[in-house]
Structure 1
Amino acid sequence: MQKKYFLPFFSLLCLTGFSLSAQQLSGKLFSKETNESIPYAAVQIGENYGVITNNEGEFQINVERFSANDSLHFSSMGFVEQKITLKNFKPNSTIYLKEDVSQLEDVFLVNKNLSMEEIMTKVNENLDKNYNYSLKKFDIFSRKQSTTKVLDMEFEINKATFLDKSVRKNFNKSIDSLLHINKNSTNTSYSESYTQIFIGSSLDSLKVDLQKVTQLKDETKAGDAEDFSSQVFGKIAKNLKSKNTFKVKSGLLPIDDSLEVGKSFKVNRSQDSLLTKEVKSAYARSMKHSANLHPGKLEFIEDFKAYDFTQEKITGYQGEMVYVLNFVPRKGRAKYHGTLYISSETFAIVKAEYELGEGEKAAGMNLKFLLGIKYRRNKNTGVVIFKKNAQNTYDPMYMKSSTQDYVYLNRSFKFKENTDDRSNRIKFKFDLLAENDSNINQELLFVKAEPITTETYNSFTEKEGVVIEKIKKYNASIWKDYNIISPESDLKEFEY
């Protein structure tokens, strides 16, 4: 009797296995010729749905809403696209792509033979036509890694009439504890989020649906100079018993005539939720001003005459023939070097890789002796990939940026209570020094992009925010229902 029912039951397991256990598929992408991993390759299923391989060639994709006969499409610059049906895909398998050795150059050069300057001129002429984000909805997964090395921290109260003897000792003790924990320390943290953004008829109109946020961070340590300053100000506010506002000066400069110290300096060291308005503000700035989202704002495209371009080859990518141009500085104002991938038909930038030259700075100011402030961005590298849509414009698909910032802050602050009772007026003065190096790596995966109507935009109502899921070690199951960038080894092994 057992033999009679064994085969049907086993067959049932096989039939249901795809829908139950294969909702999240993962694997690796390698070059067949070199046996090297292929980073930033597209892994798609359906027209506007997919992920990108990470820097180690790994990917994971949720296929719950697709059938066993649907196909995964694997594509990358310079490789022949490969398709595998879901029913034939083996979990955690390695897929090998063949290099594209077709004679595209011969076919292409018969019809067009443009100079580098002509190509870059056409890129700039077609920017507005190629990139249009109005009335769009994007599903975005974001991952941010921040590593801060605290070089120096000091805090000294010169005067504090608001601290009576009973609390002065405890206050100083808490400040000393902050300095002890943070000084000469290195702190690494990770944050991840999944967000839907709705863009109206202009980039000024944006709505956000924040769906999930995770945080892997040691909250006992300050993240950077700003975080340390906030902790100090928060402790001041906690001990400040006044309902009045304050006049604030830093050095000779007035900062505020009516600062509500209690409200301004209260810091929740254990932030449990992330507000929609905070995320909305960040995405609004990015959608309107980010050079990665608007390639015409990239220095080496906007000011392309300051660079020397050389054509490496012509290749194919997702049905388009693509120029591959390397660029290096030609004039003193040029700072970057890298590679551009440009559609031969639309002259859209479909991919850009760039890096700040050695000894250059992306931004900075030095007011160390005048105002006690110094800032310098010593590193700025990026990768940005776009995908052509059904409307023949281009949507962002993936972005990665890596920056290294040096920040120095050495300031004196004076606070004076706004009250007519001068004999009991609260005054306090303190010196604050904070110096740190910060390395930030951020990735954005545009999982899905689709056009929307004005009615869809108007009907969506934002919620207040979401609770942050705090973890001490990376847990892949947290994102099992989402399409994300597969975590690299450093994140998988990180814990505190």
Structure 2
Amino acid sequence: MLVLAVTLLTFQGTLAQNIQARIIDRATKENIPYANIQVSALEHLVSNEEGYFNLSEGNSKDEIVITISYLGYFSQQLTINQLKKLDFVVALQPSIFELNDVKVSNVKPNPYEIMAQVKANLNTNHKNDVLPSKDFIFYRKSGLFKPAVIEVEINESTGFSKHALKKVNSDVQKFISKLISSPPKDFTDILGNYYNSTIKKDDKYVPVTKLEVLKATILENEGSSTSADELKKLAINTILQHLDSTKYYRAKSGLFGSRDTISLRKDFNKKKTKNKNTSTQILATKNNLNTFLTENNLLNTSSFNFIYNPEWYEYQYEGLSYMDGTEAAYVLTFKPKKSKAKYIGKLYISDSDYGVLRVTYDLDAGEKLNNVNLKLILGIKAADNKRKGTLMYRKKIHGKGYYLQYANIEKGQYFYVNRPLKFIELTSEEKDIFSLDIKIEGNTSSKMEYLNMSHTIITPSELQKVTEADFKFTKIKSYDPKIWKDYNAIEPLSEMKRFKTME
């Protein structure tokens, strides 16, 4: 009986579990990132940077059929049962064609003529749907605040003794040491339905979006002395110790003073925020998602100058890439030719309609964006020193053009602040003064991943019925694949799997 019970438990455990698998190159055995995985013709997934993907419990039954494809390789269709027999490793075969199977010409296509066609067809190929659409999406964001130097010293506080100030400065230094040794990091995962439409208002077309969150988790250093929230709380508590909450103040930094009146009185702050809309989690999340999609829309001229200003770049035609001999794409590499150009990368462009199928880009060595250096004058220096991305597009089933299927965007910024800060009481009598010196130098980085698993056109009435509801993140202490057992999602990288909250 004991053997039977153990057998049944083992069988049940293996029957209901989500699957993790890996995609590799058959010849080199190297992992293949960003390969397409079609699940039962319903959902489209993408392997992560390390070549892994996962399937929900509902899509892990033996008879489920998946199709794996990647430009430059033969597609492979197999059942989950066959995937298990392959030990969850799928090896794709690079596409090899005989010369008589491919159009051959002694004249290579001109990359600048190709880019001219891309630019001319952008609005047709990459504009948003006018009709209402529903996208089943997964959105992951991670952030890291990594200070190299933090120096905070309170040097004046009316009514406090030198001994008291010394004690406060000592406590601040202990906190800073922990912060530098263990910088705060967080991961948020969101899965849901994203609705998008365009309505005409005052002779202008205005976008309308709705978000329906099905599941959301957050993994962070909650409760530790090194979380970003704790850093904010420390700053507030430090000021509270030295400012009278019944009085009014004005801030001054160096030669510059603020005209805004500062008060810690609750009734004062309520008056200032009385007419402002209260932000909710659903609204903040939707706004972040809207911003992300706008920034990564190829029609955004400020983000993709390697498309809109091809004269700034040197393009090289690398050849044609095929998928099973049917879908072909021009492959172009680019690098800066003029000082205004910042990026290096690669474009995959459809040979039939010049739509962008895939683009990878990165800042060229030594290049920076939004560089501000006022270190000598104002004690401030900042620059975007990291900006790289991979964008993949899939053809729309209804109508012309493409939609964004997958995006992986990384950003990083260097910052330096070295300034005095002073709070001066607003009074005609003797003034309370609280002043401190702040020096912070370091880097922040963020990574955003977006996966559109299915894109469908809906009716206006269906969109109207959608109601947005606020939600709360489920806080987790470590990544657990069981959390997503009911849904397909982006397989996390090893970094996230190793990450655990600090007790």
Measured against aligned partners, the alpha-carbon deviations of 1:33-85 in whole angstroms (never above 9, x if no partner) come to 22222111011114451221122211102262798654211011101111113
CA distance in 2, matches of 1:296, 1:259: 37
SS at match of 1:478: helix
Offset, 1:336: 1.6
Contact 1:213 1:468 (C-alpha < 8 Å) held by counterparts: yes
Candidates 404, 407, 411, aligned match of 1:396: 404
* SS in structure 2 at match of 1:387: strand
Contact 2:26-2:93 at 8 Å conserved across structures: yes
Bigger Cα displacement from structure 2, 382-391 vs 477-486: 477-486
1:197 maps to 2:194: yes
Deviation at 1:368, TM superposition (A): 1.3
Name the counterpart of 1:335.
Answer: 342
Quote how far apart the aligned CAs of 1:114 are: 4.3
Structure 1 residue 142 and structure 2 residue 149: aligned? no
The question of 1:475 aligning with 2:480 is answered yes
Within 2, Cα distance between the matches of 1:118 and 1:85? 43
**Which secondary structure does the structure 1 equivalent of 2:260 belong to?**
strand
Take 1:59 and 1:449, find their aligned partners in 2: how far apart are those partners? 20
Q: Does 1:320 align with 2:327?
A: yes
**Partner-residue secondary structure (3-state), 2:462:** helix
Q: Which amino acid aligns with 1:311?
A: Y
2:245 corresponding residue in structure 1: 242
| Residue 490 of structure 2: aligned partner | 485
Output the CA distance in 2 between the equivalents of 1:181 and 1:403. 25
Preserved contact between residue 419 and residue 438 of structure 2 (Cα < 8 Å): yes
SS of the aligned residue for 2:472 comes to strand
Task: Name the residue aligned to 1:42.
Answer: 36
Does the CA contact (< 8 Å) of 2:243 and 2:434 recur in 1? Answer: no
Q: How does 1:41-120 map to 2 (within 5 A)?
A: 41-47=35-41, 49-62=43-56, 64=58, 69-90=63-84, 93-103=88-98, 107-108=102-103, 114-120=109-115
Cα distance, 1:212 vs structure 2: 0.9
Q: What number of residue pairs does the alignment pair up?
A: 474
**Paired residue secondary structure (1:90):** helix
Aligned match for 2:23, one of 19, 25, 29:
29
- Paired residue for 2:274? none
Indicate conservation of the 8 Å contact 1:123/1:347, yes or no: yes
Deviations 1:67-126 (A, max 9, x none): 86542110111011111134544275111111111358964457x974211110111111
- Contact 2:110–2:317, Cα closer than 8 Å, also in 1: no
Partner of 1:464: 470
**C-alpha distance in 2, partners of 1:163/1:203?**
56
In structure 2, C-alpha distance between the alignment counterparts of 1:252 and 1:469, rounded to whole Å: 44
Counterpart of 2:49 in 1: which secondary structure? coil
Partner of 1:269: none
Query: After superposition, what is the alpha-carbon deviation per residue over 1:265-285, rounded to whole angstroms, capped at 9, x for unaligned?
Result: 9xxxxxxx9822221221222
Call closer, same or farther: CA 1:320–1:424 in 2, change over 3 Å.
Answer: farther
Aligned-residue offset at 1:172: 4.5
Percent of residue pairs identical: 26
Q: Residues 315-345 of structure 1, C-alpha deviation per residue, up to 9 Å, x if partnerless?
A: 2248532111111222232222111000111
Specify which of 372, 382, 386 is matched with residue 389 of structure 2: 382
* Cα distance change of structure 1 residues 77 and 369 upon mapping to structure 2, 3 Å threshold: same
Query: 2:136 matched to 1:130?
Result: no
- The answer on whether the counterparts of 1:190 and 1:217 sit within 8 Å (CA) in structure 2 is no
1:261 is displaced (CA, Å) by: 4.4
Q: Deviations over 1:199-256 (max 9, x none)?
A: 23167432223331221326535567x9846641354247644255543332233334
Maintained 8 Å contact 2:152/2:169? no
Aligned match for 2:210, one of 207, 213, 221: 207
Contact 2:153 2:169 in 1 (8 A): no
How far apart, CA to CA, are the structure 2 residues paired with 1:187 and 1:371? 28
Q: CA RMSD in A?
A: 3.7
Q: Residue by residue, what CA displacement relative to the aligned partner does 1:427-446 show, whole Å, maximum 9, x if unpaired?
A: 42222221112343332222
1:350 Cα deviation after fit: 0.8
> CA 1:404/1:489 → structure 2, altered by over 3 Å: closer, same or farther?
same
CA contact (8 A) 1:249 1:256 kept: no
> In the TM superposition, what is the alpha-carbon distance from 1:466 to its structure 2 partner?
0.9
- CA distance in 1 between counterparts of 2:188 and 2:374 reads 32
Segments of structure 1 that go 5 or more residues without pairing to the other structure are 266-272
Give 1:388 deviation, angstroms: 0.9
Does 2:453 correspond to 1:447?
Answer: yes
Which amino acid letter does the alignment assign opposite residue 124 of structure 1? Answer: K
Amino acid at match of 2:250: K
- Superposed CA offset, 1:115-169 (max 9, x none): 2111101111111211233433333323334444321111122333486999867
Spell out, residue by residue over 1:434-462, the C-alpha distance to the aligned partner (whole angstroms, 9 max, x if none).
11123433322223322233333333222
TM-score (norm 1): 0.83
By how many angstroms is 1:314 displaced?
1.0
1:348 corresponds, among 342, 355, 378, to 355
- Is residue 307 from structure 1 mapped to residue 313 from structure 2 by the alignment? yes
Question: 1:174: Cα distance to partner?
Answer: 4.1
Q: Deviations over 1:337-375 (max 9, x none)?
A: 111000111211110111211111133211112222111
- Residue 383 and residue 206 in structure 1: after superposition, are their counterparts in 2 closer, same or farther (change >3 A)? same
* TM-score, scaled relative to structure 2: 0.82
Residue number in structure 1 paired with 2:152 = 155
